[in-house]
C-alpha cells in the first residue's frame, strides 16, 4: 500500500521518457526558429550595408534608373538605381498573374462543377505533375521555344518581359489552379443545390454564389502564384535578357531582381558596394515575400469572419 503511494509521488520511467521526448522535439523547433531569425538577420544586415556603410540614399536606390555600382556618376555618387529591376519584377509578376487567373479559375470550375468526374480524373494528375516540374525546365523551354517565337514575331532578341511573363504564366498556372480547386471544393454542396433549386442557371450559380463564397481563398491562390512568380530566379533569368535597362516595352532585354542577383553575386567581392547593392536586392525580395505573406494572412482572417 505504501509502496504504491510512493510510486504515485515519484517520477518513473515514463516521466523520464517524456522529458527526453520534449527535449528532442523542442530542440528541433528551436533550430527552425533560430534558422528563420538568422536568415532574416543576415540578409537584412547585408542588405542595409549599402545605405549604412556606403551611404547610398534609400530613395535614390529605389527610384534611380542607372545601375552601374562599380562607377560613380557626375555628382561623385555610385550609380545604384534599382528601379528598372523593381519595375520588371513587378511587371512580370502582375502580368503573369493576370494572365493565369482566368485560365486557372476556368480549369478549376471545369474540374469541380462542369465535368467533376472525367475532368478531374484527367486534369488532377497532370496538374500535380506540372507543379512538380523544375523551374529550370520551364526556363529551358522558354529559351528554346518562347524566345525564338517572340524574336520571329517582334524582331530583336526575343528576351524581355513578354518572354518572362509567358514562362511565369505557365509556371504559376498549375499552382493557382490546384489551390483554386481546393477553394471551390471547400464551398459546401448545399450552396450549389440551394441556388440551383431557386431556379438559377449554372452560370448564375457559379458567378453569384460559388465564386463569391470562394473569393477569399481564390484571392489567396492568386497571391500564392504571385509570390512564386516574384521569387522565381532561374527560369526568368534564362529568358529576360539580363540587361539592367528600364523596360520601355515588353520585348527588349531587361532584368528582374532575381535575375540580377543570380547573374552577378558570384562576380562581386564581399563587402564592396557592388556586392552590398546586390544584397539590398535580396532584401527587397525578402521583404516582398513577407508582404505576400501578410496579405495572405489578412485575406485569410477576413474570409474567416465572413463565413
Partner 1 sequence: MTPHQSDRIATQLINLLVGIVVLILLFLLGDIVLSGFPHISWHFLTSPSSSFSAGGGVRDQLFNSLYLLVLTLIISFPLALGSAIYLSEYAGDNWFTGLIRTAIEVLSSLPSVVVGLFGYLLFVIEFHMGFSILSGAIALTFFNLPLLVRSIEGSLHAVPNSQREAGSALGLSNWRTIRGIILPVALPGILTGIILSAGRVFGEAAALIYTAGQSAPLLDYSNWNPTSSSSFLNPMRPAETLAVHIWKVNTEGVTPDAVSISAGASAVLIIVILIFNFGARAIGNQMYKKMTGGK
Partner 2 sequence: MQAYDLSQTHIVTPAEEIALSTNQLQVYYGNSKHASMSDASLSFPRFQITALIGASGSGKSTYLRSLNRLNDRIARIKGEIIYRHTNINDSKVNVYEVRKHIGMVFQKPNPFAKSISENITFALKAQGITNRQELKQRVETSLKEAALWDEVKDDLNKSALALSGGQQQRLCIARAIAMKPDILLLDEPASALDPISTTKLEVTLKELAKNYTIIIVTHNMQQASRISTYTAFFHLGHVLEYDRTERIFQTPMIQATHDYVTGNFG
Per residue in 36-59, is it b (16+ CB within 10 Å) or e — as a string?
Answer: eeeeeeebeebbebbeeebebeee
Burial group, residue 276, by CB count within 10 angstroms (0-12, 13-18, 19+):
buried
Cell of 46: 547585408
Of 251, 269, 235, the closest CA to residue 69 belongs to 269
Of 47, 175, 159, 191, the closest CA to residue 101 belongs to 175
CB of 6 to partner 2, least distance (A): 10
DSSP 246: -
Nearest to partner 2 of 23, 36 (CB atom): 23
Nearest to partner 2 of 1, 28 (CB atom): 1
Name which of partner 1, partner 2, none residue 1 binds, using a CB cut-off of 5 to 8 Å depending on partner kind. Answer: partner 2
Name which of partner 1, partner 2, none residue 4 binds, using a CB cut-off of 5 to 8 Å depending on partner kind. Answer: partner 2
Of 204, 212, 135, 203, the closest CA to residue 172 belongs to 135
Q: Which of positions 171-230 make contact with partner 1 (CB under 8 A)? A: 173, 200-204, 206-207, 227, 230
How many residues touch partner 1 under the rule CB under 8 A: the total is: 82
Q: Which of positions 29-88 make contact with partner 1 (CB under 8 A)? A: 29, 31-33, 35-40, 42-43, 46
Nearest to partner 1 of 32, 305 (CB atom): 32
Of 101, 95, 98, 96, the closest CA to residue 221 belongs to 101
Q: Which of positions 10-29 make contact with partner 1 (CB under 8 A)? A: 13-15, 17-18, 20-22, 24-29
Half-sphere exposure (Cβ direction) of 293: Cα atoms closer than 13 Å? 7
Cell numbers 562581386 correspond to what residue? 268
Name which of partner 2, partner 1, none residue 9 binds, using a CB cut-off of 5 to 8 Å depending on partner kind. Answer: partner 2
Name which of partner 1, partner 2, none residue 71 binds, using a CB cut-off of 5 to 8 Å depending on partner kind. Answer: none
Hey, is 160 helix, strand or coil?
A: coil
Asked if 8 interacts with partner 2 (CB under 8 A), we say yes
Asked if 305 interacts with partner 1 (CB under 8 A), we say no
Q: Which of positions 9-38 make contact with partner 2 (CB under 8 A)? A: 9-15
CB of 19 to partner 2, least distance (A): 12
Q: Which stretch binds partner 2 (CB under 8 A): 4-12, 134-142, 220-228, 267-275?
A: 4-12
> CB neighbours (10 Å) of residue 173?
21
Rounded to whole angstroms, the Cα distance separating 213 from 2 reads 64
> What x/- string results for residues 107 through 126 when contact with partner 1 is judged by CB under 8 A?
x-xx---x----x---x--x
Rounded to whole angstroms, the Cα distance separating 94 from 247 reads 15
Which positions lie near partner 2, rule CB under 8 A?
1, 4-5, 7-15
Amino acid at each position: 500500500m505504501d509502496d504504491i503511494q510512493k510510486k504515485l509521488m515519484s517520477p518513473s520511467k515514463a516521466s523520464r521518457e517524456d522529458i527526453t521526448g520534449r527535449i528532442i522535439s523542442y530542440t528541433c523547433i528551436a533550430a527552425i526558429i533560430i534558422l528563420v531569425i538568422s536568415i532574416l538577420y543576415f540578409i537584412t544586415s547585408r542588405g542595409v550595408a549599402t545605405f549604412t556603410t556606403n551611404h547610398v540614399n534609400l530613395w535614390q536606390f529605389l527610384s534611380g534608373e542607372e545601375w552601374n555600382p562599380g562607377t560613380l556618376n557626375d555628382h561623385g555618387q555610385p550609380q545604384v538605381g534599382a528601379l528598372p529591376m523593381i519595375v520588371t519584377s513587378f511587371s512580370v509578376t502582375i502580368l503573369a498573374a493576370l494572365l493565369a487567373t482566368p485560365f486557372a479559375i476556368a480549369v478549376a470550375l471545369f474540374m469541380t462543377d462542369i465535368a467533376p468526374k472525367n475532368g478531374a480524373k484527367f486534369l488532377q494528375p497532370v496538374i500535380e505533375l506540372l507543379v512538380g516540374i523544375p523551374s529550370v525546365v520551364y526556363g529551358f523551354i522558354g529559351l528554346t521555344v518562347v524566345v525564338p517565337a517572340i524574336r520571329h514575331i517582334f524582331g530583336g532578341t526575343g528576351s524581355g518581359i513578354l518572354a518572362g511573363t509567358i514562362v511565369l504564366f505557365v509556371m504559376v498556372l498549375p499552382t493557382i489552379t490546384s489551390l483554386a480547386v481546393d477553394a471551390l471544393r471547400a464551398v459546401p454542396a448545399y450552396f450549389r443545390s440551394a441556388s440551383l433549386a431557386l431556379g438559377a442557371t449554372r452560370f448564375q450559380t457559379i458567378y453569384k454564389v460559388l465564386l463569391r463564397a470562394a473569393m477569399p481563398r481564390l484571392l489567396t491562390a492568386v497571391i500564392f502564384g504571385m509570390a512564386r512568380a516574384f521569387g522565381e530566379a532561374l527560369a526568368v533569368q534564362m529568358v529576360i535578357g539580363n540587361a539592367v535597362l528600364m523596360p520601355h516595352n515588353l520585348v527588349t532585354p531587361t532584368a528582374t531582381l532575381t535575375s540580377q542577383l543570380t547573374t552577378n553575386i558570384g562576380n562581386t567581392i564581399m563587402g564592396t558596394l557592388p556586392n552590398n547593392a546586390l544584397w539590398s536586392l535580396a532584401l527587397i525580395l525578402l521583404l516582398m515575400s513577407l508582404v505576400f505573406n501578410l496579405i495572405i494572412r489578412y485575406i485569410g482572417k477576413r474570409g474567416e469572419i465572413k463565413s
